[in-house]
Amino acid sequence: MSTVFGELHEVQRSSTSVERVLRPTTWTEALAALDEYPDARPIAGGTDLLLDLARSSGDPVTLLDLSSVAGGREIVDDGDAFVLGAGVTHNQIVADPRFRAHCLPLAQACLEIGSPQLRNRATIAGNLATASPANDSISALMALGASVVLSRLVDGGLSERTVDVVAFFRGFRATVREPSELITAIRVPKLAADERGIWVKVGLRRAQAISVVHAGLVVALHDDKVADARLAIGSVAPTVIMSHVFPASLIGKPLSEGSIASSAAAVAASIEPIDDVRATAEYRTAVTEAVLARALRAVADGRADAAWPLDAPVLGVRTPSGPPASPVITNETLVSMVVNGEPTTGASAAETTLLDWLRDHASAPTTGVKEGCAEGECGACTVRLDGAAVMGCLVAAAQADGAEIVTVEGLAGDTLHPLQASFIDEFAVQCGFCIPGFLVAGASLLDEHPSPSAEQIELGLAGNLCRCTGYYPITAAVRAAAGGSS
């Protein structure tokens, strides 16, 4: 086999290593650290950044971990809008009924992102900062008229500027954020009394699908006629775009079948979508018209939230641990975690994921957690981090310093966990490789919903793949553990 770099598969290439992880506890500390290390890469959830580092080869980098900044996960209702801290996760939005009531497009977009485990890590701010046109929350935020607060240090204090989300992007994966700035908050206006909103998506599968097309729209109705209309469309251009054709095609008209059809056709004709591995430009044009018409009909009929699941599972709400024990973590720093109830230490935390640290560097290795894909797709590495189910392959080990971790080994006490016992009884253990992740995710689901519905089981296990295609006995085992019939 050739060893020419360009001919190697990405998993065979050397990844970009991490030299140090900085862990500030205030925005002032974070921005001071950024001034000291101007090339540092900000990381919050890390679900995009860790993959980027694994798939690239370059000089060692410094990570600026923002996950422990005070107030970063707070959501403040200022009356007209919600102000999200830069560490607010997608599952926080999903679990908060205020967003379904007042910012439905954002709630719908957050529910479609990744899996429950990914949504427990991935942040709204990270979705914006990554700036991919396929990032689902961006179209929702644009349609709602959201804005981004960017902060920098000036004379030792915070200096802020606010940028509309529409103006935040200057190209593919490029934003107007200056090197000395950090996203510190996002302001999301509530839908007005006369406004209705919805978010829609087309993907190639029901869960964990990168969008072929996604769109957020808001329509204001006065006297049964459209007074205002906003539409943002993603995955059809280098950036998420606001449609100028959409308001022109609807304002002043009733939201009738005729106006809906003509508006959807006009918008579809106005875009110049891309061709890529997920879809052709021709398909994107056709599906944009179809999905937009369907969305407008739902708005017109008052059914914008009809598909919202009842009490969607989030697989645990994270209870963050205290301030970081080590403000700077290198590969020589000894970090500690409570793993399955036992204090555990180890080094090499700067350059490893939580998955690899638990298996290879912890003083008491836990080999039950498995690596199946190393990119957050399969769920075999699911563990609980401070109470929330996450993908161990997409958590930097340094970010878990001081945290409480539960792996499959920690589910059983003196006897098997009820779900472990039901997996045996229902013959749900097949090749066994994916089972630790299913068990941790399933146990988190049962803690949250002791008698889950079929829809909740499906949503709760959406982040776990079984390569033996044996989902029937697995779901039967969850029902049995909950006391239901298999």
| Predicted confidence band of residue 207 (pLDDT cuts 50, 70, 90) | confident
Residue 406 parent element (H or E): strand 404-406
The closest alpha carbon to 299, from 147, 455, 143, belongs to 143
Residues 133 and 167 placed together within one structural domain of the fold: yes
User: Is residue 313 situated within a structural domain?
Assistant: no
For the chain, what is the mean pLDDT?
93
Q: Which of 373, 377, 372, 369 is nearest to 397 (CA)?
A: 369
Q: What is the pLDDT of residue 11?
A: 57
* Spatial distance between the Cα atoms of 45 and 88, rounded to a whole number of angstroms: 10
Residues 135 and 220 reside in one and the same domain: yes
Q: Is the pLDDT of residue 279 over 70?
A: yes
Domain range for 427 is 411-481
Nearest-angstrom CA–CA distance, 148 and 162:
6
Task: Name the domain count of the chain.
Answer: 3
**Contacts of residue 98, Cβ cutoff 8 Å, sequence gap at least 6:** 77, 82
Q: What is the pLDDT of residues 80-92, one digit of tens each?
A: 999 999 999 999 9
Of the pLDDT bands very low, low, confident and very high (cuts 50, 70, 90), residue 324 is confident
Give the sign of the dihedral formed by CA 43, CA 46, CA 49, CA 52. Answer: positive
pLDDT band, residue 39 (cuts 50/70/90): very high
Q: Judge if 384 and 285 occupy the same domain.
A: no
Rounded to two decimals, the pTM is 0.94
Determine contact, residues 422/481, Cβ cutoff 8 Å: yes
Q: Are residues 342 and 286 in the same domain?
A: no
How far, CA to CA in Å, does 391 sit from each of 117, 147, 378, 408, 424? 6, 30, 9, 13, 24
Cβ 112 vs Cβ 84: under 8 Å? no
Return the ∠ at Cα 266 (arms to 260 and 270), rounded to 5°: 145
Average of pLDDT values for 163-169? 98
Which of 300, 335, 358 finishes a domain?
Answer: 300
Q: How large is the average pLDDT for residues 235-244? A: 95
As a whole number of angstroms, the distance between CA 180 and CA 433 comes to 44
Please check whether residues 79 and 227 belong to one and the same domain: yes
Claim to verify: residue 33 and residue 136 sit in the same structural domain: no
Q: Are strands 61-65 and 41-43 parallel, antiparallel or unpaired?
A: parallel
Q: Are residues 60 and 104 in the same domain?
A: no
Whether residues 327 and 454 share a domain: the answer is no
Residue 239: pLDDT above 50? yes
User: Domain boundary residue among 408, 440, 456?
Assistant: 408
Q: What share of the chain has pLDDT > 70, as a percent?
A: 96
pLDDT of residue 151: 98
Asked if residue 461 and residue 422 are part of one domain, the reply reads: yes
pLDDT at 154 over 50: yes
241 and 350, same structural domain?
no
- Assigned token pair, 150: 């960017």
Query: pLDDT, tens digit, for every residue of 334-379?
Result: 999 999 999 999 999 999 999 999 999 999 999 999 999 999 999 9
Q: Which of the four pLDDT bands, split at 50, 70 and 90, describes residue 8?
A: low
Per-residue pLDDT of 225-237, as tens digits, reads 999 999 999 999 9
Of 356, 391, 408, the domain-final residue = 408
Residue 236 maps to a domain: yes
Q: Is 188 helix (H, G, I), strand (E, B) or coil?
A: strand
Whether pLDDT at 4 is above 60: no
At 432 the pLDDT is: 86
CATH code for the domain of 418: 1.10.150.120
Residue with tokens 């645990």: 316
- Domain for residue 306, yes or no? no
Q: Are 248 and 122 contained in the same domain?
A: yes
pLDDT at 29 over 60: yes
Q: What percent of the chain has pLDDT over 90?
A: 88
Condensed to tens digits (0 to 9), the pLDDT of residues 41-54 reads 999 999 999 999 99
Say what the pLDDT of residue 252 is.
97
The mean pLDDT of 200-227, rounded to a whole number, is: 92
Residues 382 and 470 in one domain: no
Q: What is the CATH number of the domain that holds 25?
A: 3.10.20.30
pLDDT band, very low/low/confident/very high, at 256 (cuts 50, 70, 90): very high
CB atoms within 10 A of CB 338: 16
Confidence band (pLDDT; 50, 70, 90) for 1? very low
